[in-house]
Amino acid sequence: MTALIFQKLLAMFIVVGIGWVAGRRRWLGEGDAARLLGNVAFTIFVPALLFRTAVRLDLAALPWRTLGAFFVPTVLLLLAVYIAHRRRATAAQEPAPAQASVRAITAVYGNAVQVGIPLAAALFGESGLGLHLTLVSLHGLVLLTLLTALVEHDLARTHDGVAMMQTLRTAVRNTVVHPVVLPLVAGLVCNAIGLRLPQLIDELLLVLGAAVVPVCLVLIGLSLEHYGLRGPSRGAIGLSLLKLVVMPALVLVTAHWAFGLTGQALAVVVLMAAMPVGSNALIFAQRYRTGEAEATAAIVVSTLAFAATAPLWLLLLAAL
């Protein structure tokens, strides 16, 4: 088990290392390659992946109790982190309205694809992997949509002298016409009306979506070379503790004692919650030009620490 986790993490860090070397050697030019690559991922590759996922989602077969056991505590933690950091920023008069949302996504959005999928397949077999993939398919839909609404609302409120209704209209428009939310909404509409994608379009989206993982790992390496780890290390450690310890503990308690999950379903949702910080946190930070260094450091710190925390959660689940 530990060897499997180590191999997956090692492969990820090799790709991150390639991105770091590319940034160090200026293989991608002298400009801000990390920001450019982040914009490409956010506006091309991620929307393709989200649209295809939403279209192919089997809405009738969703295990609602299991989904509730994961997403209820996750959303509550997201809102708690968001509110806490927003109040702190207001009290300190910090000028970055997107900071609270960026920290919230860093605290709850896990690396459920690069690390989660192979780990779920190895630990739980086909049935457990199917449940994990169901959680993954709604991961971005629920969390990214909510976070986008929060950050766009905060950004709209920064315009002094704008009426409340105008602020609300701006926030709603920017939330819907967004590289994350729009493809999800369009995909769900196509899903609801039973529209099937032509084979060529499906293959095109599959190719574009497959680029998300390597592009994001290279992006982490580029950002790590640009920002380093020293400055944001304290905040990164705090966010990593929220992601690796607080979130899985909260999901475990809620799933087992509130939703009555046991066995494989309980193990899948807890392991999903115990994933290290996902690369979407950095893409989100790049999008709003806020907290990129802290998000990068949190991804690196939490991924390193995951090699130690994952076996502990597995032992606890075995005891239950």
CATH of the domain at 189: 1.20.1530.20
Q: Dump pLDDT digits (tens) for 80-132.
A: 999 998 888 777 666 677 888 999 999 999 988 777 876 787 778 777 877 88
| Chain centre to alpha carbon of residue 49 | 13
How many angstroms separate the CA atoms of 62 and 71, rounded?
A: 13
| Chain centre to alpha carbon of residue 284 | 9
Please give, one letter per residue, the 3-state secondary structure of 223-257.
Answer: HHHHHCCCCCHHHHHHHHHHHHHHHHHHHHHHHHH
How many angstroms separate the CA atoms of 264 and 130, rounded?
A: 11
Residue 95: what pLDDT?
A: 65
Residue 2: what pLDDT?
A: 58
Name the burial class of residue 283, with classes exposed (0-12), middle (13-18) and buried (19+) by CB atoms within 10 angstroms of its CB: buried
Residue 71: what pLDDT?
A: 96
pLDDT at 177 over 70: no
Residue by residue, DSSP assigns 166-209 as: HHHHHHHHHHHSSTTHHHHHHHHHHHHTTPPPPHHHHHHHHHHH
Average pLDDT over residues 156-170: 60
Q: Please, which residues bridge with residue 110 across strands?
A: 277
Residue 163: what pLDDT?
A: 53
Average pLDDT over residues 205-223: 83
Residue 169: what pLDDT?
A: 64
Share of residues in the chain with pLDDT > 70 (%): 87
pLDDT at 168 over 60: no
Q: What is the band of 204 on the pLDDT scale with cuts at 50, 70, 90?
A: very high
The domain tally of the chain equals 1
What is the residue-averaged pLDDT of the chain? 83
Check: CB of residue 313 under 8 Å from CB of residue 274.
yes
pLDDT at 60 over 80: no
Residue 76: what pLDDT?
A: 96
How many angstroms separate the CA atoms of 3 and 18, rounded?
A: 23
| Chain centre to alpha carbon of residue 246 | 16
Residue 231: what pLDDT?
A: 61
**Which pTM was predicted?**
0.79
Residue 74: what pLDDT?
A: 96
Main-chain phi, psi angles of 198, to 5 degrees: -60, 150
Look at the chain and count its residues. Answer: 320
Check: CB of residue 72 under 8 Å from CB of residue 264.
no
Computed on alpha carbons and rounded to an integer, the radius of gyration of the chain in Å comes to: 19
Share of residues in the chain with pLDDT > 90 (%): 25
Residue 320: what pLDDT?
A: 77
Residue 178: what pLDDT?
A: 65
Q: Dump pLDDT digits (tens) for 136-145.
A: 878 877 888 8
Residue 293: what pLDDT?
A: 87
Structure tokens at 97: 């309205």
Residue 59: what pLDDT?
A: 74
Check: CB of residue 8 under 8 Å from CB of residue 207.
no
Range of the domain at 313: 2-23+31-319
- Which one has a higher pLDDT value, 166 or 303? 303
